């Protein structure tokens, strides 16, 4: 196996070759990739010295001996085959239905305090209630939460994982999990591999976010989503004073977001500040002060931030 210092991500061709040569099914290959990627090789007992040569490639090992070794290690810690969802709110209900549709054995969504009988438990409860909900789970199953801002320490002493879909969950209809980002974490390689498996089942793009980065990550998500809705609400109010309805602004919003996603903020920026037209900006400010004066501090803060973005560009 690669040493702890060998943290390079195996390439796709390397993983395909490993699957063929070692006869690993996809879920076990993903677990192996996670072990290599996260530098957890040191947690696996070393294979017999005669069967390993130092190299970054899996293919140069004696395949028959290595295959038996890897299969034995993965068999000791198989991924859970069932998952209980605790919490019957929007997210818990949506995840239970989505996971069940992939063929995963799903229990719930369960009410808080209902004993789960699954290999893993995913807590879909408010952040402030995670610790109490985790404490109510008997020892044995993996225990995870769906909080974006919370670390794994609140789940101790369980083997813990985190799964935070980077997607809004509407009151009606199925959320579009496929293609969305997903922050994952695990207190063990197996726990993180299970979180990645859950994300991949729904077609989400998993990325590891460390505990110390969770608050910043979640703040960025709030700015990108929650604050954007607040901003559009302000635009809607001001437009209404001119007889312009929300639906006429929506295509502009979609185009701006798509340009940002494709080009980045500096190159997607348009409008009077980007053109250096401060005369128009002054007229806009006067209109805001007259018609929606409570929005003037927001307008000024956004105008200053936009000027700063222009200087960076």
Task: Check which CATH number belongs to the domain holding 119 and give it.
Answer: 3.40.50.720
Q: Is 7 domain-assigned?
A: no
Within this chain, do residues 87 and 187 fall inside the same structural domain, yes or no?
yes
Within this chain, do residues 230 and 184 fall inside the same structural domain, yes or no?
no
Cβ neighbors of 163 (< 8 A, separation 6 or more) are 122, 144, 145, 146, 182, 183, 184, 195, 198, 199
Domain end among 30, 52, 76: 76
Q: Is the peptide bond before 157 cis (omega within 30 degrees of 0)?
A: yes
Within this chain, do residues 149 and 174 fall inside the same structural domain, yes or no?
yes
The parent domain of residue 298 ranges over 225-312
Q: Is 205 domain-assigned?
A: yes
pLDDT in tens, the chain (313 residues): 434 334 344 444 444 444 444 444 444 555 555 544 444 433 434 444 444 333 333 333 344 554 554 455 446 779 999 999 999 999 999 999 999 999 999 999 999 888 999 999 999 999 999 999 999 999 999 999 999 999 999 999 999 999 999 999 988 878 899 999 999 999 999 999 999 999 999 999 999 999 999 999 999 999 999 999 999 999 999 999 999 999 999 999 999 999 999 999 999 999 999 999 999 999 999 999 999 999 999 999 999 999 999 998 6
Q: How many domains does the chain have?
A: 3
Within this chain, do residues 135 and 176 fall inside the same structural domain, yes or no?
yes
| DSSP H or E run through 84 | strand 82-86
Domain end among 29, 58, 76: 76
Q: How far is CA 307 from CA 93, 257, 265, 269, in A?
A: 43, 19, 12, 11
Dihedral of alpha carbons 65, 71, 76, 77, sign: positive
Within this chain, do residues 239 and 183 fall inside the same structural domain, yes or no?
no
Within this chain, do residues 271 and 295 fall inside the same structural domain, yes or no?
yes
Within this chain, do residues 182 and 63 fall inside the same structural domain, yes or no?
no
Within this chain, do residues 138 and 170 fall inside the same structural domain, yes or no?
yes
Task: Check which CATH number belongs to the domain holding 306 and give it.
Answer: 1.10.1040.20
Within this chain, do residues 70 and 95 fall inside the same structural domain, yes or no?
no
Q: How far is CA 288 from CA 154, 234, 240, 245, 285, in A?
A: 45, 10, 12, 17, 5
Within this chain, do residues 47 and 130 fall inside the same structural domain, yes or no?
no
């Amino acid at each position: 196996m690669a040493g702890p210092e060998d943290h390079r991500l195996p390439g796709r061709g390397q993983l395909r070759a490993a699957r063929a040569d070692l006869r690993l099914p996809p879920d076990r290959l993903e677990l192996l990739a996670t072990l290599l990627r996260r530098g957890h090789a040191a947690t696996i007992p070393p294979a017999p010295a005669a069967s390993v040569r130092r190299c970054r490639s899996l293919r140069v090992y004696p395949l028959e001996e290595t295959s038996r070794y890897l299969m034995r290690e993965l068999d000791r810690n198989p991924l859970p085959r069932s998952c209980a969802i605790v919490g019957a709110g929007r997210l818990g209900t949506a995840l239970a239905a989505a996971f069940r549709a992939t063929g995963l054995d799903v229990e719930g969504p369960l009410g808080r305090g209902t004993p789960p009988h699954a290999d893993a438990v995913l807590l879909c409860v408010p952040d402030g209630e995670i610790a109490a909900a985790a404490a109510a789970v008997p020892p044995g199953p993996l225990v995870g939460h769906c909080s974006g801002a919370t670390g794994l320490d609140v789940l101790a002493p369980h083997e813990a994982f985190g799964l935070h879909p980077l997607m809004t969950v509407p009151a009606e209809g199925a959320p579009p999990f496929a293609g969305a980002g997903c922050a994952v974490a695990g207190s063990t390689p197996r726990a993180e591999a299970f979180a990645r498996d859950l994300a991949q089942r729904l077609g989400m793009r998993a990325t590891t976010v460390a505990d110390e980065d969770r608050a910043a990550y979640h703040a960025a998500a709030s700015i990108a989503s929650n604050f954007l809705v607040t901003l559009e609400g302000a635009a809607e109010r001001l437009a209404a004073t001119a007889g312009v309805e929300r639906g006429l602004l929506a295509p502009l919003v979609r185009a701006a977001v798509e340009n940002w996603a494709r080009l980045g903020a500096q190159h997607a920026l348009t409008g009077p500040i980007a053109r250096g037209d401060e005369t128009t900006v002054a007229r806009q400010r006067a209109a805001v002060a007259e018609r929606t004066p409570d929005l003037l501090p927001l307008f000024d803060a956004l105008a200053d931030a936009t000027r700063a973005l222009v200087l960076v560009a």
